Amino acid sequence: MALVGRGVLAGLGVTLTTFFETYPWGRAVLRLMGRQHTNGVVTIEYPDVKQQHAERFRYFPFLVYDKEPDNLRCVACKICEVECPPQCIHIVGPAKDEQGRPLKPKGRPYPVEFDIDVSICMSCRICVDVCPFDAIEMDNNYELSDTDRFGHLVYNKEQLLRPNEYFQQIKPTEASVVDQRLAAKHAKAAAVPPAAGAPPPAPPGPAA
Ligand code: SF4
Ligand code: SF4
């Protein structure tokens, strides 16, 4: 019983501290008491004021391209489509010529269509984790409300495309790791001499 009483008092202490932290005079009192404090819990006046999210905050995925939109990293391998738990990714491709051979204008195949139904996406990030090409990343833009569920919430390839600079801007730590990984892959591919008559190796990332 005594233990329960101490827990309740400790909980009330947290609540009281948070209450004090919320006001300048309360923070002054806490400082006088030698207590460390945050700025408390406040209601942000959204949309006039927007909360700064942690870098790892995620919402829906986007497709990364390097330098130009037609230089997207996705090769339409469809691993993400298969692994997506709610099956909200739809890919058509890779693009092929009349003989059925994959088209590789940038040295690698590319999807004809790539759609994500963001009204179904649950932001699990599995598509990012399974992609072998670092071609898909999580966006942190959450201001996507719309009145047309079928017309506007199924994002096509063009709507999903973002430059790598955007990824670097919203998630600098993660983007830096990806850039280093792709640069290492590129260096490794460049070190292997191509077979006689073979086309140059596919550019694996930003170094392309
Ligand atoms: S974040 Fe999860 S639910 Fe959304 S598209 Fe990727 S795998 Fe599917
Ligand atoms: S995003 Fe990645 S896993 Fe999905 S189809 Fe493209 S290359 Fe494959």
Structural tokens at position 16 = 């009281």
192-208 pLDDT, tens digit per residue, is: 776 666 555 555 544 44
Looking at residue 91, its amino acid is I
What is the DSSP track for 94-106?
--B-TTSPBP-TT
Per-residue pLDDT for 80 more than 60?
yes
Kindly report the protein residue whose alpha carbon is nearest to atom 4 of ligand 1. 121
Pairing outcome for strands 161-163 and 61-65: parallel
Kindly report the protein residue whose alpha carbon is nearest to atom 5 of ligand 1. 121
What are the start-end ranges of the H helices in the chain?
A: 2-21, 24-32, 79-83, 126-130, 149-152, 157-160, 164-170, 172-191
2-52 pLDDT, tens digit per residue, is: 566 888 999 998 899 888 888 889 999 999 999 888 877 778 888 898 888
Structural tokens at position 199 = 């086309």
> What value does the mean pLDDT of the chain take?
89
Q: What is the pLDDT of residue 39?
A: 78
Q: What is the pLDDT of residue 177?
A: 97
Eight-state DSSP code of residue 72: B
Contact partners, residue 203, CB within 8 Å, separation at least 6? 66, 71, 106, 107, 108, 186
121-168 pLDDT, tens digit per residue, is: 999 999 999 999 999 999 999 998 888 877 789 999 999 999 999 999
Does domain 61-191 match CATH 3.40.50.10420? no
**Cβ 114 vs Cβ 151: under 8 Å:** no
Q: What is the pLDDT of residue 38?
A: 81
Q: Is 170 in the pocket of ligand 2 (CB under 6 A)?
A: no
Residue indicated by tokens 């390839």: 157
Q: What is the pLDDT of residue 206?
A: 43
Q: Pseudo-torsion of CA 187, 189, 191, 193, nearest 10°? A: -160
Q: What is the pLDDT of residue 207?
A: 43
Q: Domains of the chain: which residue ranges? A: 2-32, 61-191
Q: List the single range of 132-141, 170-179, 183-192 with lowest mean pLDDT.
A: 183-192
Per-residue pLDDT for 55 more than 80?
yes
Residue range 97-103: mean pLDDT, rounded: 91
Q: Is the model's pTM score more than 0.85?
A: no
Q: Is 77 in the pocket of ligand 2 (CB under 6 A)?
A: yes
Kindly report the protein residue whose alpha carbon is nearest to atom 6 of ligand 2. 74
Name the band, by pLDDT with cuts 50, 70 and 90, for residue 172.
Answer: very high
